[in-house]
Copies of this chain bind each other. A is one copy, B any other.
Amino acid sequence: MKLTILGCYSATPRIDTNPTSQVLEINNHLFLIDCGEGTQVELRRNKIKFARIKHIFISHLHGDHFFGLVGLISTFRLLTRETELHIYGPKGLKDIITLQMKLSESWTNYPLYFHELTSENSELIFEDDRVEVYTIPLKHRVYTNGFLFIEKPGERKLDMNAVLNADIDVAYYRKLKQGFDVENKQGQFVKNNALTKAPTKTKSFAFCSDTAYHEPIIPIIKNVDVLYHESTFLDKHEKLAAPTKHSTAKEAASIAKQAQVGTLILGHYSTRYDNLKEFKLEAETIFDKVELARDGKTFTF
């Protein structure tokens, strides 16, 4: 998996900082997560081909997470896109987009599907042969979901020396990769694990923004390889976090620790802070593996 941070600041776009948006690549498959104003320009800056984006996930309807969506949809149209586009987000998002398309008399010339979310429970919202995506119900001022991306196990890998020694017909390779025992050209059954190796370990990623400190997400994100958890504030501004239903770096780290995640990435910083290193230092008092999101930064895992 490869995660590209297009924007990781809260509230308003500024000259050098962008509101929330990130691209997750899983086996050459691109998922766009949130789409603040300016996202399409950041996609260009990061040289991400627009046509490769087929699925967009919107966490909630605060502007810094979706004001760039209508423009991106519109640009796809101007670029004469033909590929279908699927958008997953809170109920109401479809109305917002279609009202603007109607009034501008600019309907898309590509198939556009809205998958509106309303459930308060974690649910499977996307699945193909390579990945599953689940919602992570968060605690914020409006209805909000995080998203959990789980790579599916791939096929077993052939141990070609063993396969050739055992004299297996090529017609059986597919079945071997799928884990079946097969017979060789002499009609003898050979155990699968003598001929194949386990598939590459699959990865998982959880995106949790925006949210107050919220322990009910822990069982959902348990053991994920990478957790992006918002940390709008430092602990010294804890009194601002509670009423706005945001988290501090310390709280994000506490969630990461309890969920036993591999790595915690912090982001959604309030624009009041100049020195982001304080977020890392604060989180590291609770949890070891902490990374800071920064606009334009990529994480490969």
- Interface CB pairs A-B, < 8 A, 25: A12-B40, A12-B71, A12-B78, A12-B79, A13-B38, A13-B40, A14-B41, A15-B44, A15-B45, A37-B37, A37-B40, A38-B41, A61-B103, A62-B104, A63-B70, A63-B74, A67-B70, A67-B71, A95-B103, A96-B96, A96-B99, A96-B100, A99-B99, A103-B142, A105-B141
Whether a CB of chain B sits under 8 angstroms from the CB of A68 is yes
Whether a CB of chain B sits under 8 angstroms from the CB of A83 is no
Whether a CB of chain B sits under 8 angstroms from the CB of A75 is yes
CB distance from A170 to the nearest CB of B (A): 50
Whether a CB of chain B sits under 8 angstroms from the CB of A11 is yes
Whether a CB of chain B sits under 8 angstroms from the CB of A106 is yes
Given A11-B78, A96-B99: 4 more A-B contacts, CB < 8 Å: A14-B41, A37-B68, A38-B38, A61-B100
Whether a CB of chain B sits under 8 angstroms from the CB of A92 is yes
Choose one: B63, B71, B104; the contact of A104 (CB below 8 Å).
B63
The answer to whether A104 touches B142, judged by C-beta atoms less than 8 angstroms apart, is: yes
Chain A positions 101-134 with a Cβ under 8 Å from a chain B Cβ: 103-106
Distance A95 CA – B142 CA, assembled complex (angstroms): 20
The answer to whether A103 touches B99, judged by C-beta atoms less than 8 angstroms apart, is: no
Q: Collect the chain B residues with CB atoms within 8 Å of residue A93's CB.
A: 103
Given contacts A67-B74, A105-B142, A141-B105, contact A44 B99 (CB under 8 A): no
Distance A70 CA – B63 CA, assembled complex (angstroms): 8
Distance A106 CA – B75 CA, assembled complex (angstroms): 27
CB distance from A286 to the nearest CB of B (A): 30
The answer to whether A41 touches B68, judged by C-beta atoms less than 8 angstroms apart, is: no
For residue A76, which residue of chain B has the nearest CB? B12
The answer to whether B99 touches A95, judged by C-beta atoms less than 8 angstroms apart, is: yes
Most buried by B among A41, A79, A106: A41
Q: Collect the chain B residues with CB atoms within 8 Å of residue A78's CB.
A: 11-12
Choose one: B37, B62, B79, B99; the contact of A38 (CB below 8 Å).
B37
Distance A103 CA – B97 CA, assembled complex (angstroms): 12
Q: When each residue 14-38 of chain A gets 1 if its CB lies under 8 Å from chain B and 0 otherwise, what string results?
A: 1100000000000000000000011
The answer to whether B61 touches A104, judged by C-beta atoms less than 8 angstroms apart, is: yes
Distance A93 CA – B95 CA, assembled complex (angstroms): 14
Distance A37 CA – B36 CA, assembled complex (angstroms): 11
CB distance from A58 to the nearest CB of B (A): 11
Q: Collect the chain B residues with CB atoms within 8 Å of residue A45's CB.
A: 15
Q: Collect the chain B residues with CB atoms within 8 Å of residue A70's CB.
A: 63, 67
Distance A210 CA – B219 CA, assembled complex (angstroms): 54
CB distance from A270 to the nearest CB of B (A): 11
For residue A65, which residue of chain B has the nearest CB? B104
Q: When each residue 134-167 of chain A gets 1 if its CB lies under 8 Å from chain B and 0 otherwise, what string results?
A: 0000000110000000000000000000000000
CB distance from A38 to the nearest CB of B (A): 6
Q: Collect the chain B residues with CB atoms within 8 Å of residue A142's CB.
A: 103-105
